[in-house]
Structure 1
Amino acid sequence: MSVNLSTNQFYNRSSASMQKLQAQFDRLNEQVATGKKLLAPSDDSVGYQRLQVINRANVDGTQDAANVKLAQATLQQAGTNLSSITERLQRASELVIQGRNGTNSPAAKQVIATELDSIMESIVALANGKDARGLPLFGGKDDGAAVTPGAAGALTFADGKAAPIPIGDGQSVEVTVNAREFLSVKDGDDLGTAMAAIIAALRGDQPIPDEAVDTLGTIGDQVTAMQTSLGAREVRVDLQLAQLKTSADDRELVRTDIEDADPTETIVQLQKTMTILQATQASFSKLSSLSLFDYLR
């Protein structure tokens, strides 16, 4: 009876050992196929929880990176439009100098006035430019026109300011500005009023008002200052994008350490387990064919 019990125990232990080895082999084989060592939460509950945190951070990081790229594109476009406005204002200043030259004939002044009129139309079009979202680059809180010329040349500006774009870590950046900030001056005058006065004087063969010329110069300085401000914001956004990439790379290293299997080590363990399993199966097969096992069955 004791021999029978001992033999049964040996048989059961061998069977359990093979099942365990088979399960280990299947697990290693799946790790090789998937490249993952963490296949289920039960494998490493702490590691699994850390992976959930990393995955959520990656989702947030992806959205932040998309916002940063949108901010970059919008700031670049705004900067480009302001550069074009600056060029036109410089040309307008040159034309004003020519128009104030006493040797110009009335006909020549008419030509200058016509070009200034065209420049003003171009500046309004640039100020009403839109970003990749279809929103005004220099508008207000809605998607209406940023600048609207009035009957007497005075400009009407959109109300409010566009919402800033979140760029991660609780930060946000204003990628647009209201055109009022650089196309109008403190006393309520604006570029449209100044240009209308200059054009009217030229067409009427009258002296160009000093106040209008001063306003034109002030607005030119304001546009340049706004370019500088947007450039500084663009640098900040570039730095934030680099920081987001660094954070994403760091998270990937942690994720890899927790989740990914080492291919070489896993294959070695798989081969080792397979060898042991085959040897165990062979030994069990030989033992099970002995007459004593046959007798017990």
Structure 2
Amino acid sequence: MKLSFLQAIFLGSISTLSVAKSIACTRKAVSDILPRGVSLSFVQHIPKNGTFTVPEGDTGWPIDPINLPELCAIGAMVPGTNTNKTFGFGLFLPLEWNGRTLSTIISDPYGCNFNAESLLCKSGTGGSNLTDCLSPEQLSTFDTLTRDYVGMNSTLIFPAWLLGSEHFWDLNIDGGAPNIIGLGYIQYMMGLGSDWKWRDFDESIVDLSEQLNPGQADASNYDLAPFFRSGNKFIHYHGLSDGGIATGASFYLYDQIDRAISTENFDISDSYRFFPIPGMGYAKAVDPFSSDGHSTDY
């Protein structure tokens, strides 16, 4: 989105406000630093561990955010470049700048240099049912779950789950068996029948799936140039904490579409935007202010 001059000034003003050592969460205090033309919808002080009640009819907020740190919630309407349009901004401003808040969200999983060996139970810890470390066998399973599924000739079959998605792994492996969605796809859509057991899975199942393509579910036609030339836009988002469908699949899709239309005379960013969302899982979000990283439904 291209910001108008007034929108840029508004965001700059808010940035100036938020870096102050403290602010008064009042309509007057916020209004005093805003440029002309910006109207405030609300200014609300939220106490520590408080809840922000989403204004009725505001579809931009999926749920009421809970367990918040102390902050100032503001809503403002900013005129666009076209005088017939306005843009609504909703912001949470910290009341203590640089206050230390522990977050369970990993904002850049691909940037993590994570050493999984640090999870290994050390000698002398005692017991075989420890919950704060992994046995060598468990660590081997962890390595499998966080490694891309690669077939013959180093062919990528499907990307691995990203770090930070662990809260949602039970979507696929709860109870020590695959989710019925994947199992049912092979048994019934591919026609192998209810007697087929998941322990018989091998790469031949992948090959058969590509040959049959039941339901025409294979999204491998990456040339979206005709779609884009018609003026259509593609808005694509995926939670980085998704433990159901690995987020890497969306990164792969974006790259393949970019390559497929690379000879066309337009910038992909004008037609296709991909938003990887930190903390968002499979239709759920990790609460960044929760010490146990509990989930919230969207």
Q: TM-score, normalised by structure 2?
A: 0.23
Higher relative contact order (CA 8 A, sep 6+): 1
Relative to its length, the structure with more helix (as a share) is 1
Asked which structure has the greater CA Rg, the reply is 1
Q: TM-score, normalised by structure 1?
A: 0.23
Relative to its length, the structure with more strand (as a share) is 2
